[in-house]
Amino acid sequence: MDKADFLEAIESDSAALLSAAESVPLETPIASCDGWLMRELVAHQTFAWGLATSNVLAGGDKTLPARPKPPGDDDQILEWSNGVRTAMLTALSGADPDAPAWSFVPPYQTAGFWQRRMMSETMIHRWDAQSAAGSIDPLPAERAADAIDEYTEVILGHSGSRSERVYPSQSLHLHCTDTAGEWTMVGDDGPNVNVTREHAKGDAAVRGQAEGVLLWIWGRPGEVEVFGDADVAAAWRTLAP
């Protein structure tokens, strides 16, 4: 996937997320997000959009904007979020993927990181919002597979919210059945993890359509088959952001 693909996905999924939020009360629980309400999901996603915007526009300087406080009036929250969304789409659309932009993942310091990151983040939370609203659009296989690749390559080893991860020494293999995509990961019972894109036999394996595998590794209900040691698979799944 490239910049145009990412932007197309971000635009459609961000609109769908806010549409789902608008369709239910903002105090609707989000079962897939550890007790969040829709209001909190919207605020979280809006912060992510603002973070991407500020770092792409800063041209390589590190910016960590304060977490925005949503308007106190629920009638204004979605309008506020959509304004941040619009600024984010403008910033990402105008950025060369190779342009410098600080990120929380040291090896990836370009605007392209944020273009890809916002696709994955927005797609997952669009699913969360639609799940709470009661009608979920499918996750396209190519986008879901790219988001799995981003998770295994980038987020798994570098998530800023999980600074003391311990990676199991038993291996896990992920296998998409509806599009190209296989990954094998193994840790050292410590802070190091190695991921390869290959067909291999793991101590545990998770197999299914890309949508199901993506949801599974992000701790959401996903239709997958688990083979081998179920405890090993569960241990890897607990590392979800």
Q: Where are the domains of the chain?
A: 3-137, 162-237
Which residue has tokens 């600074």? 163
Which residue has tokens 């299914």? 208
The stretch 140-148 carries a mean pLDDT of 98
Contact 48, 13 (CB under 8 A): no
Band of pLDDT at residue 24, cut at 50, 70 and 90: very high
Sign of CA dihedral 92, 96, 102, 105: positive
Gyration radius of the chain over CA positions: 18
Q: What is the pTM of this model?
A: 0.94
Which tens digit of pLDDT belongs to each residue from 157-201?
775 455 577 899 999 999 999 999 999 999 998 888 999 998 999
Contact 240, 217 (CB under 8 A): yes
For 162-237, the fitting CATH number among 3.40.190.10, 3.30.1050.10, 2.60.120.10, 3.20.20.150 is 3.30.1050.10
Gap between the Cα atoms of 187 and 172, Å rounded: 10
Which pLDDT score, from 0 to 100, does residue 165 have? 78
The stretch 146-165 carries a mean pLDDT of 80
Q: Name the fold adopted by 3-137.
A: Four Helix Bundle (Hemerythrin (Met), subunit A) (1.20.120)
Query: Taking all residues of the chain, what is their mean pLDDT, rounded to a whole number?
Result: 93
Which pLDDT score, from 0 to 100, does residue 65 have? 74
Which tens digit of pLDDT belongs to each residue from 89-115?
999 999 999 999 999 888 999 999 999
When mean pLDDT is compared across 2-11, 35-44, 64-73, 172-181, the lowest value belongs to: 64-73
Which pLDDT score, from 0 to 100, does residue 75 have? 85
Which tens digit of pLDDT belongs to each residue from 59-95?
888 888 777 778 878 889 999 999 999 999 999 999 9
Which pLDDT score, from 0 to 100, does residue 156 have? 87
